[in-house]
Amino acid sequence: MSEPLLAARGVSVRFGGLVAVDGVDLDVRAGELVGIIGPNGAGKTTFFHTLSGVLAPTAGRVLVGGDDLTGKPPHAYAAHGVARTFQTPRVFKEMPAIDNVRFGLEFAGRTRQHAHDAFDEAETILEFLGLADVAAVPAGGLTPSRQRLLEIGMALGARPRVLLLDEVAAGLTHAEVDASAQLIRRVRDELGLAVVWIEHAVRVLMNYVERVAVLHQGRKIADGDPRAVAKDPAVVEAYLGEEGEPERRAA
Amino acid sequence: MNSRHALLALLAGGLALAALPWLLSDFLLALALSCVMYAGLAVSWSMFCGPTNYLSLATAAFFGLGTYVTAWGAGALPYGLSVLAGGLVAAGFAALIGAAVLHLRGAYFAVITFGMGELVRHGITYYEKAFEGTVGRIIAEAPESTTVYWMVLLVSMGAVAAAVLVRDHRLGLALRGIGSDEERAQTLGVNARRSKIAAFALSAFFAGALGAAMAVRWTYIDPLTVFNPFIGFQTVLIAMVGGAQTILGPIASAVVFGLLTEFLRLQFPYLFLVILGFLLILLVLYLPGGIASLFERWRWRRGNV
């Protein structure tokens, strides 16, 4: 098997006495689409923060393309091809949508080329996301669901090798969720990215990813084929014990 | 307006202003000098603080360092070199301090930059007392007032040119991203620390150079005069009233302030500060986007008619 593009080795994060992430290992290879699910407070977003350099892990290491980036600032991760979205869209509100996408192209994406240059233009990325008509609109004026899409566009502008998506489907309608999921698969297929996708809506994620990892109280309790993981007693227990079985949560 | 047009407009404006010494009386030239100096200070302040939303009160420290470089070098260094050295010393100091405090934000940054000015002032006072036996120094040979005017004009034009180039290039984009959401900008590849230090030092260069150029206007230099916090406050005020997100706003504001202050001082010698304060309150209340927002409104109206 090929070298993992993104590797977390025993990553832990402690806030004072609270252990938010507890010794998590995760390997993601190029072209893989991996989902991460878990009940509220399972440590999903905190784990993502360590994968993008926003937060340094208290213990453990994060490797991107074989390079140890543990403790490096976020721009070092970006330069290595890690791009992410945030759960609450963090677009540059005053800038036009197109400049939000251009931002990544000017910095992290400046030195790196995709296999085929489909996403070298901010205009192409906006078109791909169906945002071409609002290119000149300040990002703060877009609807929340369009800001979510723009977040993906900003990450794509950074010409990533690894795309980290934090609950891009939250607050979207069923149709919108389906459209974003299709989009994410298309991006993965066209650019050969490694995609890690956190989602609270379990059913959505299960339908679109080939592999899913489950976090519970900071620990990884399952990792594998979505159908097998859904039947895993530990996973069922985690969801039942905390907030009901997975299917009901998704509804 | 792209960089080239802006720089051409600047060059034309600068050439026109360079002719003022032949047209104006000594009194009016001194007034023009003050306007040009504050325009340069306000533009250099906005260059960093406008896009990043930082509030720096360090202008007085940079300005004062510049004047002291001229005072120390007087006699040894030609005027032009003093100005350059003053700018470089201020930029170096800003880079050093910036590396230590630019992770702070909001009120903390404002207070600590104000403290920097006080630190430098007391540091120099101590040094002079301990090692020179006297506080303050006299600048014996001063260039002519027209030379000073041209030098200040040149430095201020340099500040405007730098502001245009920063705005239109990657550094400006990085600074706007940092101002909007620093962490987001970092996750998209911006080395925030380096960008902030570079812009802070560049902005300090012009404040220092202006201090060095203005030093020769005072024959007697002492820390209390040249590290006057009023210079820093005035700069911030002018930039904010003008609209720190723009370049034209602070320039227009510096001219309005300069003329208004002088007019009020002559017409209402006892009431002028009261009137000035009142006008400021009105401006902040009814024109929060600064003078620059007037241009915007005008452009918008013209576009819609």
**Mutation choice for B interface testing from A92, A94, A110 by most B CBs within 10 A:** A92
Chain A contact set for B52 (CB, 8 A): none
Q: Could you tell me if B176 lies within 8 Å of chain A, comparing CB atoms?
A: yes
Residue in B180, B186, B191 nearest the CB of A92: B180
Q: Which residues contact A48 (CB under 8 A, 6 or more apart)?
A: A54, A84, A164, A166, A196, A198
Per the CB < 8 Å rule, is B176 touching A95?
yes
Residues A198/A28, Cβ–Cβ less than 8 Å:
no
Q: How many CB atoms lie within 10 A of CB A250?
A: 16
A-B CB pairs within 8 A amount to 68
- For the four alpha carbons of B141, B147, B149 and B154, in that order, the dihedral sign comes to negative
Please write the tens of the pLDDT for every residue from B170-225. 999 999 999 999 999 999 999 999 999 999 999 999 999 999 999 998 888 888 88
The residue of chain B with its CA nearest to that of A110 is B189
Q: Answer whether residue B304 shows pLDDT above 60.
A: no
**B127 or A1: which leads in pLDDT:** B127
Classify B3-304 by CATH class. Answer: mainly alpha
Per the CB < 8 Å rule, is B173 touching A106?
yes
Q: Could you tell me if B169 lies within 8 Å of chain A, comparing CB atoms?
A: no
Buried b (16+ CB within 10 A) or exposed e, B60-90: bbbbbbbbbbbbbbbeebebeebbbbbbbbb
- Helix (H) or strand (E) run with residue A220 in it: strand A219-224
Residues A126/A135, Cβ–Cβ less than 8 Å:
yes
Per the CB < 8 Å rule, is A78 touching B188?
yes
The residue of chain A with its CA nearest to that of B51 is A94
- Which positions in chain A have a beta carbon within 8 angstroms of at least one beta carbon in chain B? 52-54, 73-75, 77-79, 83-84, 86, 90-95, 99, 102-104, 106-110, 154, 157-158
Q: What is the mean pLDDT of residues B2-23?
A: 91
Distance from CA of A189 to the nearest CA of B (A): 22
Q: For all residues of chain A together, what is the average pLDDT?
A: 87
Q: Which two tokens stand for residue A28?
A: 């993601």
Chain A contact set for B177 (CB, 8 A): 92, 103
pLDDT interval class at B284 (50, 70, 90): confident
- Residue A240 has a pLDDT of 66
- Helix (H) or strand (E) run with residue A21 in it: strand A18-28
Q: What are phi and psi of B149, to 5 degrees?
A: -60, -45
- Residue B260 has a pLDDT of 87
Q: How many CB atoms lie within 10 A of CB B93?
A: 19
Distance CA B234, CA B241 (A): 10
Residue in B176, B183, B189 nearest the CB of A104: B189
Q: Answer whether residue A244 shows pLDDT above 50.
A: no
Distance from CA of A92 to the nearest CA of B (A): 6
The residue of chain B with its CA nearest to that of A139 is B180
3-state helix, strand, coil in chain A (%, to 5): 40, 25, 35
In the 8-state DSSP scheme, what is residue A244? S
Residues B114/B229, Cβ–Cβ less than 8 Å:
yes
Distance CA B18, CA B11 (A): 10
Per the CB < 8 Å rule, is B188 touching A94?
no
Short-list B165, B162, B150, CA closest to B206: B162
Residue in A54, A110, A158 nearest the CB of B183: A54
Per the CB < 8 Å rule, is A109 touching B189?
yes
Whole-angstrom distance between the N-terminal and C-terminal Cα of chain B? 21
Prediction ipTM score: 0.88
Q: Which residues contact A44 (CB under 8 A, 6 or more apart)?
A: A36, A37, A38, A166, A198, A215
Short-list A164, A187, A167, CA closest to A177: A167
The residue of chain B with its CA nearest to that of A156 is B188
Please write the tens of the pLDDT for every residue from B39-81. 999 999 999 999 999 999 999 999 999 999 998 887 788 999 9
Distance from CA of A151 to the nearest CA of B (A): 10
pLDDT interval class at B305 (50, 70, 90): very low
**Range from A20-29, A238-247, B129-138 that averages highest in pLDDT:** A20-29
Q: What is the mean pLDDT of residues B274-298?
A: 79
Chain B contact set for A89 (CB, 8 A): none
Per the CB < 8 Å rule, is A75 touching B184?
no
Q: What is the mean pLDDT of residues A154-158?
A: 91
Distance CA B266, CA A165 (A): 64
